Amino acid sequence: MKKGYKRLIMFSVLLIVLFIGNTFLINFLSSYKMIALLITLIPIFNWLFVLEKDHHRYTNDVLFEVIVYLISFFLLYYLLGFIVGLARNQNYFTLYGIKAFIIPIITYCIIREFLRYNMLCKADGNKLATIVVVAVFIAMDITNSLYFASFQTKYEILRFVALTLLPSVSKNISYSYISRKMGYKPVILFDLIFSLYPYTFPIIPNPNEYIVSIIYLIVPVIFALRLFKFFEKKEDYYLPSNYYKKKLKGAIIPTIIVLAMIYLYSGYFRFYAIAIASGSMNPKIKKGDIVIVDRKQNDFKKGQVIAYWKENVIVVHRIVKKVKLDDSYVYYTKGDANEHIDDFLIEENMIIGNVKNKISYIGYPTVWFSEN
């Protein structure tokens, strides 16, 4: 084994020991301290090995592929969100979110990937050195999670493996492959967007943690395979001049459709789409239908179908009686298929809006998922 490989392996092993020590001792490498460590490692690495510059061919083409892949991913992810639910982002560009998440993520990602790229360049395809380098970044990735994890039961061990360890292994193997073949810029672009969207998008899907772990497990792998196939095409033959235009045009219509659905499902705007989960309004509105609610209307009359909050559940029923109480109104409602009037009063501040239209059947996936 060459002397350079041995030195790289020793350097990597020392880092792994450092991250393991962080895990089992005092957990001193949190957020900005981890960034400070990485910044310190760059000149040390340069002194030991000399830093490499990224001179990969087709960088702009690969970056475009990253953008196309991410557009495809988010289209599918938000379509999943219409089934499992969408949530309003509490950290959406807040001062706290910027300080605690956005700035550290950006800084950490850029320095980490620059260091990863240089360490892989020095490994130069040597299997043992490459494996040890990948292990460094897996240890770096999970050190803080490992510190706070509990391993008292088999369930807790399996939960850590499924939710933290396996996604980290998948991500770091994929990132390392891409970085070595195509440079650190595609990995930085992908990881920044993939990591920052929970803190920069106002509305995000709300799947359970196991679905999230599956996403974090397979998405980086598919990303690496896609770039590998693209790289092979680029090497084998010249791509047509309209290659990128066709890809962008193909993404426009699905993007518009998903954005329109987000607009309706989010509850932020005038019109709000609600999936009907019961048959209480048969036959006019059936279970699995989607109703479009106008949030702007505030003058409600007898006979109108309204949506309102009742104990954190949205109910869609018809107004059967309107009564003035002091300076406001209260409403009695009833489901068309129910025998009796609802045994509670609806105050004006409980009402979301008036039902304008319905779309039959397309709400079934959302209803099914919420019931199972």
CA distance 306 to 352: 7
Length of the chain: 372
pLDDT tens digit string along 85-123?
Answer: 777 776 666 777 788 888 999 999 999 999 999 999 999
Percentage of residues in the chain having pLDDT higher than 90 = 28
Residue with the bigger pLDDT between 150 and 251: it is 150
Is residue 354 over pLDDT 80?
yes
Contact 52, 117 (CB under 8 A): yes
Which burial class, exposed, middle or buried, applies to 371 when counting CB atoms under 10 A from its CB (0-12, 13-18, 19+)? exposed
Tokens standing for 360? 């039959």
Lookup result for tokens 């809006």:
353
Q: According to the model, what pLDDT value does residue 106 have?
A: 93
Type of residue numbered 13:
V
In this predicted structure, what is the pLDDT of residue 145? 80
Residues 197-231 have pLDDT tens digits of: 888 877 788 788 888 889 999 999 998 988 888 77
Round to whole Å and give the CA distance between 71 and 150: 36
Q: Tell me the sheet residues that pair with 314.
A: 309
What pLDDT, on a 0 to 100 scale, did the predictor assign at position 199?
83
Q: Structural domains in the chain?
A: 3-266 (no CATH), 271-371 (2.10.109.10)
Q: Identify the CA nearest to 111 among candidates 24, 37, 199.
A: 37
Specify burial of residue 219 (Cβ count, 10 A radius: 0-12, 13-18, 19+).
buried
Q: Is the pLDDT of residue 236 over 60?
A: no
- Exposed, middle or buried, 322 (CB in 10 Å: 0-12/13-18/19+)? middle
Distance, CA of 183 to CA of 56 (rounded, Å): 6
CB 332 within 8 A of CB 321: yes
pLDDT digits (tens, 9 = 90+) for 40-99: 999 999 999 988 887 777 788 888 888 888 888 888 888 787 777 777 776 666 777 788
Q: Which of 204, 233, 190, 171 is nearest to 71 (CA)?
A: 190
Instruction: Collect all residues with Cβ–Cβ distance below 8 Å to 210 and sequence separation of at least 6.
Output: 162, 163
Which helix H or strand E contains 220, and what residues bound it? helix 209-236
The token pair that represents 368 in the structure block: 């099914």
What is residue 313's three-state secondary structure? strand
pLDDT at site 247: 66
Q: For 230-266, give the secondary structure using H, E and C.
A: HHHHHHHCCCCCCHHHHHHHHHHHHHHHHHHHHHHHH
Whole-number Å distance between alpha carbons of 29 and 14: 15
Positive/negative CA dihedral, 220, 225, 226, 231: positive
**268, pLDDT greater than 70:** no
Question: How far lies 149's CA from each of 33, 142, 154, 160, in Å?
Answer: 20, 10, 13, 7
Looking up tokens 């996604």 gives 167
What's the whole-model pTM score?
0.75
Six-digit token string for 55:
């001179």
294 phi/psi in degrees, rounded to 5:
-90, 110
How far from each other are the two terminal CA atoms of the chain, in whole angstroms?
A: 56
